[in-house]
Structure 1
Amino acid sequence: MGLGMDKCCCFIPLRLGTFLIALWFFVVYLLDAVTGFLGSNAVTIYSGQSAKAWYYIGLLLTVIICVGGFFGIIGSLFASRKFAKAFSIIAWISCALSIIKYLISLILMVVYRDTMIQSCKRSGFVGFDNTQVPLSPAALSDSSYYAPVRYPGTLNANATSQEDCEATIKTFLIAYGVVIFVVEVIQIYFAKVVTNYSSRLRNGARHHRLHDQQIKDFEESRYHMSTVY
């Protein structure tokens, strides 16, 4: 086995690596779910705004991945073969669900980019300092003379110009695509590490059973020899 399969990231022991990977799936997707519920997650809000059903489906997928990470934490803490085996399967399922979730979200945002721009013009870009719970797309005038007026404490308190919104959303979509590609590659590697840890536990159990059987056979052979002589 190569170094990359004996260790996580070439230097972290497999058990500790599996724990950290499980913690990754739990914490990252818990934050993803919480920010989605609170309305500060731009991906969740804008993709859900384009297809309302996807808002709830995306959050459900996120919660499922988070629960899978919790199972992995338990399995790695107690070196449980059953939990480790379950998490090795869950890790691959989580990778698949994650790819589906973020790829569909990206497609929806690219296809409905104009809707995002309209919402940005009305309410500003979604963020921690500008939460937006409403899912209904913005309906603004097409007149070149129209510009949303900012009123403190209202939905359009952070209204932004057309030019600023177009530039912000273009940058966001490009950055999101790059980040998600990198994250998914890392998570596929993580799933391989977890699978290797599960195999290591299973093979170790087989080794111990074989070792115990060899001792038993040796003791029995000694007993038979003593009776002969």
Structure 2
Amino acid sequence: MGMGMEKCCGFIPLRLATFIIATWFFVIYLFDAVTGFLGINAVTVYSGQTAKAWYYVDLIFTLIICIGGLLGIIGSCFASRKFAKIFSIIVWINCALSIIKYIVSLALMAVFHENLVRSCLRSGFIGFSNAQTPMGPAIITDSPFYTPVQYPGTLNAHASSLDDCQSNVKTFLIAYGVVIFVIELIQIYFASVVNAYSSRLRNGARHHRLHDQQIKDFEESRYHMSTVY
């Protein structure tokens, strides 16, 4: 896939495209990991609340993808055939890990969406202005008389209403599903671009070796001709 590709997106040279793609994997997933650690990444925190072990697996996957991107940046800078081949493998691994990461996170949040609503009732919806680090599910009374009360400086500082939380969670899950579908399509295309670049370097190396061998054969034949005459 992508072996006959000449340009990325029709106008970006393959080497530059490989560098940009490697930077994408490094920067995007570094940001993903940092926001997850800080408790402002809704996907990481909410999926981790539904399955605590997944919180750590998710972050490990994210860091592996990030490191893969860093290796790609180094390799594309030096136009190394060996490094390009390694990165073409790494980028496919990155795609596989990111697909697992996103689909499992979405599945956990969809199955346990009531947990997300409860967390929102207690602490509001997670965002840059509302960081949350507790990995346990929220314990909220089922009493119909319960009303969230906001206390500044506490876990309940951003508590929200049931209607708002249900609406926010539903919108979030739909938007997240659409976004990850688009991102995975882009990353699969990126992987084909890197594969095309690796193939071009490998084929170019074969052509250079052939050219060098032709020169050597010509020189040797010329030497033998001179000894005859």
Match of 2:91 in 1: 91
Match in the other structure for 2:190? 190
Q: Which residue identity does 1:186 align to in structure 2?
A: I
Q: Distance in 2 between matches of 1:225 and 1:205?
A: 30
User: Which structure is richer in relative contact order (CA contacts within 8 A, separation 6 or more)?
Assistant: 2
Tell me if structure 2 keeps the 8 A contact 1:19–1:77: yes
Match of 1:20 in 2: 20
Report the residue type matching 1:41 in the other structure: N
**Whole-Å separation in 2 of the counterparts to 1:66 and 1:110:** 26
Question: SS of the residue aligned with 2:5?
Answer: helix
Q: Displacement, 1:145?
A: 1.2
Alignment RMSD: 1.3
The separation in 1 between residues aligned to 2:217 and 2:5, in whole angstroms, is 34
Shift of 1:182: 0.3
Residue type matched to 1:177 in 2? Answer: G
- In the alignment, is the contact (CA less than 8 A) between 1:48 and 1:55 conserved in 2? yes
- Superposition pairs for residues 1-229 of structure 1, below 5 Å? 5-229=5-229
Identity between Structure 1 and Structure 2 (%): 73
Structure 2 letter corresponding to 1:95? C
1:66–1:141 CA distance, 2 compared to 1 (3 A): same
Q: Distance in 2 between matches of 1:97 and 1:3?
A: 23
What letter matches 2:25 in structure 1? F
Tell me by how many angstroms 1:2 deviates: 8.4
Tell me by how many angstroms 1:166 deviates. Answer: 0.4
Unaligned runs of 5+ in 2: none
Greater than 6 Å deviation, 4+ residue runs? 1-4
Label 1:23 to 1:160 Cα distance change in 2 as closer, same or farther (>3 A): same
Partner amino acid, structure 1, of 2:228 = V
Gaps (5+ residues) in structure 1? none
Count of matched residue pairs: 229
Closer, same or farther in 2 for the Cα pair 1:134/1:4, shift >3 Å? farther
Deviation of 1:148 (Å): 1.7
Instruction: State the distance in 2 between where 1:169 and 1:11 align.
Output: 40
Q: Deviations over 1:124-160 (max 9, x none)?
A: 0001110001111111111111012100000000000
TM normalised by structure 1 equals 0.98
Output one character per residue of 1:184-221: Cα deviation in whole Å (capped at 9) or x when no partner. 00000000000110011111111111100000100111
- Cα distance change, pair 147–4 in 1 and its aligned pair in 2 (3 A): farther
1:174 Cα shift? 0.3
Letter in 2 for 1:31: F
